[in-house]
Structure 1
Amino acid sequence: MRAAGLSLKEPSALPGFGLSLGYALAYLSAIVLIPLAALIYRAAGIGLAGFADVLGDPRVLAALRTSFGIAFAAAVVASLFGLLVAWVLTRYRFPARRIVDAAVDLPFALPTAVAGIALAALYAPNGWIGSLLAPLGLRVAFTPLGIFVALVFVALPFAVRTVQPVIGEIDRELEEAAATLGATRAESVFKVVLPPLVPAVLTGFVLAFARSVGEYGSVIFVAGNLPFVSEIAPLLVVIKLEEYDYAGATAIATVMLGISFVGLFLINLLEAYARRRLGHG
């Protein structure tokens, strides 16, 4: 029997399959599965009626729509611009390229609260960017648009770093061959370059969306946090905890977990389908 092209009994530098699988499952259970199970168990205590009350709260529904809707839009934009940034960093050599490449990772290292304060200062009506947008009638800070900007900021590195290695593996001779056969630039891009990148772009979208849905620190400083307008679901969970409404907090968290799981599962199915169609899996 073979797994991933290797016999389970074939000698390797890693421990045997059984031991490796045991460690992997133990680690996954301790870090991920057990905490999530505890959350679901705690939420189950309120019963179906409790969940119905939570989901029937217009404020909760508005916060969920804000969180998931803007997270989806931010993930789409981050994926598109992440593809462009990754292409430029991989295919071109220009001064300060390494500095730009390192700057992509700054949202990873920057505390989210600091990022939120910086974005609020920049996009406030009297900020550097906000003061330029104000005469145009555009207001970013303390609006849902501010949430979108913050989520794109934190999600962009996931999109870039997922696609960048795949771009580096594309053989340029394929593009040259397409041009030799008479393909235009647009045809070369859409028929030769982009198809191998689709699975990686979808993976980057999944990571960006997952990161955006749970983002809290950078959003609360730039969102305004107005109920029914710019209040996100994670903030509502914190509010419930401060009110000692642990049942309500766990119910909202469980609903977020369920929606996120279903959404990520469907996107992963789409990614797997794309890999099969393109011959990558």
Structure 2
Amino acid sequence: MSAAIRRRTLPGFGLTMGLTLTWLSIIVLIPLAGLVLKTFELSLDQFWGIITSRRTLNALKTSFGLAFLAAIVNLIAGMVIVWALTRYRFPGRRIFDAIVDIPFALPTAVAGVALTSLFAQKGWLGAPLAELGIKVAFTPIGIFVAMVFIGIPFVVRTVQPVLQDIDKEIEEVATCLGASRWQTIWRVILPSLFPAMLTGFALAFARAVGEYGSVIFIAGNLPNISEIAPLLIVIRLSEFRYADATAIAVVMLLASFLVIFAINRIQRWSQSRVVQS
């Protein structure tokens, strides 16, 4: 009887699971497997020599380090934006809510050109910053700015629906029980938002690590200074050094997977704690 109920509750499970595995294999697993298999054309010494070269290490450090910093900034700024859009009503709120999605729809090349012209030494923002001795365009700071620009929607759109679903009566109850506004935020609201915050952080980080179009215009692309790992991969491909390019790509893939896996584990742990509480 229970087996029949389960079959009625989940109709077509075998078919949908088969289609899911087939689709994921064609779109995700097979290309990734091909990427890994391509590196077997290199010996272990060759592979190690490529990924530990000064240029490769600097490119990976630039991509992952700045992506991590950009994700942290996006998380903080995104939480402020989400709070303002969700908890307050003000003129133009819908317009500001729509503006958040612009980095989603804007072509990355257009974003790169716009940021470069804005932060160039004669740009609207670049000129006053240059007078202060701060150069943004064609430096690692420019890469950081581009990563922040393209990553902010991931945090906002991930956290916003969760905050909207939190009943305001919970905040009122906490206030009636004597909690201050900051205590309500730290002990009531943030624990409920923490899994969504981690998800937004992971998405912003992953997008920033793999970003190419908007970054190369403002980066300057100087080896060992402002060269990102995706650009180095493209350079190796243009030199027909396919195995070298795949070696760098595999390192990026493994590093990104480990970071996202760790974040997902923390997310599951936080969700279990929320359920238990």
Partner residue of 2:8? Answer: 10
Structure 1 residue aligned with 2:103, among 107, 117, 121? 107
Q: AA paired with 1:29?
A: S
Give the secondary structure class of the aligned counterpart of 1:152: helix
State whether structure 2 residue 61 is matched by structure 1 residue 65: yes
State whether structure 2 residue 233 is matched by structure 1 residue 256: no
Partner residue of 2:186? Answer: 190
Partner residue of 2:88? Answer: 92
Partner residue of 2:78? Answer: 82
Structure 2 residue aligned with 1:137, among 128, 133, 138? 133
Cα 1:246–1:135 change in 2 (3 A) is: same
Structure 2 residue aligned with 1:204, among 184, 194, 200? 200
State whether structure 2 residue 22 is matched by structure 1 residue 26: yes
Query: Distance between the aligned counterparts of 1:263 and 1:147, measured in 2?
Result: 20
Greater share of helix: 2
1:184 Cα deviation (Å)? 1.0
Cα 1:185–1:163 change in 2 (3 A) is: same
Task: Give ranges in structure 2 of 5+ residues lacking alignment.
Answer: none
1:217 Cα deviation (Å)? 0.4
Query: Distance between the aligned counterparts of 2:6 and 2:105, measured in 1?
Result: 39
Task: Give ranges in structure 1 of 5+ residues lacking alignment.
Answer: none
Give the secondary structure class of the aligned counterpart of 2:182: helix
Query: Distance between the aligned counterparts of 2:253 and 2:151, measured in 1?
Result: 19
Query: Distance between the aligned counterparts of 1:17 and 1:50, measured in 2?
Result: 46
1:90 Cα deviation (Å)? 1.3
Residues 206 and 267 in structure 1, CA contact (< 8 A), matched pair in contact too: yes
Partner residue of 1:247? Answer: 243
Query: Distance between the aligned counterparts of 1:223 and 1:85, measured in 2?
Result: 27
Query: Distance between the aligned counterparts of 1:46 and 1:241, measured in 2?
Result: 15
State whether structure 2 residue 150 is matched by structure 1 residue 154: yes
Query: Distance between the aligned counterparts of 1:270 and 1:75, measured in 2?
Result: 16
1:8 Cα deviation (Å)? 3.8
Partner residue of 1:216? Answer: 212
Q: AA paired with 1:271?
A: Q
1:280 Cα deviation (Å)? 8.0
Superposition CA RMSD, Å: 1.7
String of CA shifts for 1:98-124, please: whole Å, max 9, x gaps: 111111111111110110000000011
Give the secondary structure class of the aligned counterpart of 2:179: coil
Q: AA paired with 2:105?
A: A
Query: Distance between the aligned counterparts of 2:144 and 2:168, measured in 1?
Result: 36
Residues 8 and 17 in structure 1, CA contact (< 8 A), matched pair in contact too: no
Structure 2 residue aligned with 1:46, among 42, 47, 52? 42
1:7 Cα deviation (Å)? 5.7
1:56 Cα deviation (Å)? 2.4
User: Under a length normalisation based on structure 1, what TM-score does the superposition of the two structures give?
Assistant: 0.95
Q: AA paired with 2:41?
A: G
Partner residue of 1:232? Answer: 228
State whether structure 2 residue 275 is matched by structure 1 residue 275: no
Query: Distance between the aligned counterparts of 1:266 and 1:233, measured in 2?
Result: 22
Query: Distance between the aligned counterparts of 1:11 and 1:205, measured in 2?
Result: 35
Query: Distance between the aligned counterparts of 2:139 and 2:8, measured in 1?
Result: 58
Q: AA paired with 1:9?
A: R
4+ aligned runs moved over 3 Å, structure 1: none
User: Under a length normalisation based on structure 2, what TM-score does the superposition of the two structures give?
Assistant: 0.96
Give the secondary structure class of the aligned counterpart of 1:182: coil
Cα 1:7–1:34 change in 2 (3 A) is: farther
String of CA shifts for 1:166-194, please: whole Å, max 9, x gaps: 00011111111111111111111111111
Percent of aligned pairs with the same amino acid? 57
